[in-house]
Amino acid sequence: MIEDVAHPTMAPKPEAEQRPMPARGGGARSPWGERSVAAVGALLAIFLGLPVVALVGRAVLDGSLAVTLTSRVVLDALVLSLATTAVSLALTVSFGLPLAFVLARRSFPGKGWLEAVIDLPIVLPPSVAGLALLIVLGRRGILGGPLEVLGIAIPFTTIAVILAQTFVSAPFFIRSARTGIASVSRDLEDAARVDGASERQLFRRITVPLASAALAAGLVMTWARSLGEFGATIMFAGNVEGRTQTLPLVVYGEFQEGNLDSSIAAAAILVLAAFGVLVAVRVFRWSRILDARGLD
């Protein structure tokens, strides 16, 4: 476009005359252009899709997925992953919901800073999160030292797995819940107040139900992040079968030991779970849109 403007004022050299022409003709308007744009885009789509399809395809076709039914390593990790993510999700909701409520409804000095601190684990490399947890709760950590005196050792235990998962995943729920609660109409809440509802009833009967789609979407994203947690876990909780070895650690550990079948089986389970998460988020988004329509 700049060339188009500049062109008439420039010396009419034959080269300059010709150069803008193909550029102009190569825009998305011509069918050739559209096709090449689509082809370039398709390359990236294939690049993104093929590895995952190939992984699941191999897991199903060569029977690796069936290994899950017999491999104790994979089964142990599956059970541990489900148990630890359930506890970390429960922790996130019980502490995250009050936090999200306060962030959505109150303003106070330093709120921006608090929000930044809460969001930080989302952008922090997980290995950094694991190291930071170790600095606090490790044997020589700020809290780890005093805790050890009391006979409580957290690093490299199942509790460490749960804490690592909670640390990296809670921000997803808090963000989503905060947005959901903030979007609930204050007029509706005021109306309920006028009708004599207590603040507690208000929260349970009005705010949470109306924000439910956002809460559910936040829950699902948080669970997915917990389930996939790797870096913070291996740093802070180690990689011990049946104790701290979750599914993502099996993918790595079994590959490291040359047991490709178990590695692929665990990976395929995680791909299926991730796919389920995407489907669930879409369903929640739809229900939110329907909710909004119903209200209007």
The residues binding other proteins (CB under 8 A) are 83-84, 86-87, 90-91, 94, 134, 138-140, 144, 148, 153-159, 162, 200, 203-204, 238-243, 255-258, 260
10 Å CB burial of residue 274 (0-12, 13-18, 19+) is: middle
Closest distance of CB 90 from other proteins, Å: 5
CB-nearer residue toward other proteins: 15 or 195: 195
Closest distance of CB 158 from other proteins, Å: 4
Rounded Cα gap, residues 103 and 262, in angstroms: 44
CB-nearer residue toward other proteins: 121 or 144: 144
Closest distance of CB 5 from other proteins, Å: 53
CB-nearer residue toward other proteins: 83 or 122: 83
Give CB contacts under 8 A, 24+ apart, made by 121-126: 121/167, 121/168, 121/170, 121/171, 122/171, 122/172, 122/175, 124/168, 125/231, 126/168, 126/229, 126/230, 126/231, 126/232, 126/235
CB-nearer residue toward other proteins: 212 or 287: 212
Closest distance of CB 145 from other proteins, Å: 10
Rounded Cα gap, residues 175 and 243, in angstroms: 31
Closest distance of CB 212 from other proteins, Å: 16
CB-nearer residue toward other proteins: 111 or 204: 204
CB-nearer residue toward other proteins: 91 or 283: 91
Closest distance of CB 46 from other proteins, Å: 24
Closest distance of CB 130 from other proteins, Å: 11
CB-nearer residue toward other proteins: 122 or 159: 159
